[in-house]
Amino acid sequence: MSIPENKIQMLLVTGGCRCGKSRFAQDWAEQQSVRRLFLATAAAWDDEMRDRVKKHQAERGSDWTTVEETLDPVKVINRHHDQTGVILMDCVTIWLSNLIMADLSDDQIRDRVNALVGCLARAACPVALVTNEVGWGIVPDNPLARRFRDLAGMANQLLAAAADRVVLLVSGIPMTIKGR
C-alpha cells in the first residue's frame, strides 16, 4: 500500500508527563477521520485511576469507539485497522508497565514491541501512539524503575524509527522531530 506524500500513516507523540501529548494526538486523530478508535492501555486499579479514565472518556466524547486492552494492542489493531478511519493508542509506557507487572522478560517485551511495529506497518488506517519520554530525569534508585526506564527508551526508539512523524511536546508546545 502506497501512502501519499502528505499522509501520515504512523504518528508517535512523546514528551514528559502532563505536557499535552494526549490532547495533541486526539486533535490529530480527529482531523483524520470521523471513524475513530481509542485503544486504551490503562487498567483502572484504584479510584484515582478510575476518575482519570472517566475524565479522558468525557473529553473524547461519543465520537470515539473505545477498546481497552492492557497487554495485547496488536490483537486490537489487527482486528480493527480495516474497519476504522484512525486508531489512537494511549499510552505505550502504560502498556510497558503492564507487561512488566505481568512478569514478562525483557526479551519478551522487546518481541511485543517489535510485533507492534510490524502490525503498524501493515495497518490500513493511520495510527497515533502516545508515549512518555522518561529518560531525562535522574537515574532511578531501584532496579524496577531502572528497568522500566530502559524498556521505555528501547520501545520509544523502535517506534520512532518506524514512525512517519514524531512530535515532542514540551509545556504544551509541539515540536516535530521527525517528518513533516
- Just list the catalytic residues: 56
Buried b (16+ CB within 10 A) or exposed e, 1-40: eeeeeeebbbbbbbbbeebbbbebbbebbbebeeebbbbb
Task: Report the 10 Å Cβ neighbour count for 117.
Answer: 17
| Neighbouring-strand partners of residue 39 | 67, 89
How far apart, in whole angstroms, are the C-alpha atoms of residue 126 and residue 67? 17
Contact call for residues 39 and 87 (beta carbons, < 8 A)? yes
Query: What order do you get walking across the sheet with 64-68 strand by strand?
Result: 64-68, 36-40, 86-90, 127-130, 10-15, 165-170, 173-178
Entry field: residues in the chain: 180
Name the packing angle between helices 143-162 and 92-101 (round to 10°).
140
CA atoms within 13 Å, Cβ hemisphere of 33: 22
